[in-house]
Each structure stands twice: as structure tokens, then as C-alpha cells.
């Protein structure tokens, strides 16, 4: 099972577009093919943001934060001071501590994808890397 840290913006994108790459990732978390790695600060931010956006429903996503996937080890957001947005640092720190990819659409994080020692990818890039392409059957007329 692929383990992953998922930034809040992926939840927002999935909530607004159920056919997006973001939604497909969360569907795979829901059905157990991916495991969402989280800690209290990342869960709290995601819940706070989703509750603030009227068209989104925290209840639709709360179940994805499964107790067995909670990361309880030490994380150090201050080690990621190069990331301009302080609120993004908690996701980078969790990704580093858990040694799993960080999926995000946030430009503050993506700008550092090759400079801070963690695997930072967009939802689409993550799916393209992880999900095997469907085999295309071609009818050759034989």
C-alpha cells in the first residue's frame, strides 16, 4: 500500500471536482489502496479549511484520517524555513519524518520539490507515477 501525506489543497480540489486527480487519490485512500499519513497539526488544518468553505463538507473527508495511519514521531517544521508559507511547513516536515511523498498543488511547496530533500508531487504526477496505465486492447481485425 502506498503511503502519502496529502496537503489541504488536494482535499479542496477533490471537493470541488470529483473527477480530478485529487479526487482519484482520495478515492484510493478511501478504498484502502493508499494510506493517508497524518498528524494532529495536518488534520487540524485540513478540518479548519474544509469547514470554512461553504460548498465543502468535512464529514466527507474525516474518515480518511484513520487512527492507524497517524504519525506519532517527531516532526520539525522549523527545519523547512525556506518554505515561504509557515502553514505549509507542517506538511513538508511530516513528509520528511514519515519518509513518504507529499502530494500538493501548492506553489510554495512545489517550488522546493528538488531542494529540500523530500518527494513533493502534484496530484496528477503522483497518480501517473503510482497507478499503472490501463492496458489498451486494440482490435486488429484478426
User: Domains (ranges, CATH) in the chain?
Assistant: 2-130 (3.40.50.1010)
Threshold 0.85, pTM exceeds: yes
Residue ranges for the chain with pLDDT beneath 50 = 135-142
Q: If 0-12 CB within 10 Å is exposed, 13-18 middle and 19+ buried, where does residue 8 land?
A: buried
The pLDDT assigned to 133 comes to: 57
Neighbouring residues of 75: CB distance < 8 A, sequence distance ≥ 6: 39, 41, 90, 93, 94, 96, 97
The pLDDT assigned to 132 comes to: 63
Amino acid at each position: 500500500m502506498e503511503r502519502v501525506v496529502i496537503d489541504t489543497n488536494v482535499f479542496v480540489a477533490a471537493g470541488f471536482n470529483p473527477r480530478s486527480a485529487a479526487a482519484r487519490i482520495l478515492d484510493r485512500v478511501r478504498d484502502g489502496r493508499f494510506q493517508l499519513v497524518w498528524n494532529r497539526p495536518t488534520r487540524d488544518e485540513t478540518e479548519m479549511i474544509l469547514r470554512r468553505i461553504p460548498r465543502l463538507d468535512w464529514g466527507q473527508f474525516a474518515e480518511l484520517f484513520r487512527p492507524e495511519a497517524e504519525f506519532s514521531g517527531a516532526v520539525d517544521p522549523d527545519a523547512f524555513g525556506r518554505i515561504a508559507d509557515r502553514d505549509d511547513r507542517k506538511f513538508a516536515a511530516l513528509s520528511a519524518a514519515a519518509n513518504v511523498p507529499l502530494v500538493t498543488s501548492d506553489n510554495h511547496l512545489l517550488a522546493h520539490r528538488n531542494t529540500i530533500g523530500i518527494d513533493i508531487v502534484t496530484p496528477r504526477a503522483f497518480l501517473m507515477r503510482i497507478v499503472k496505465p490501463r492496458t489498451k486492447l486494440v482490435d486488429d481485425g484478426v
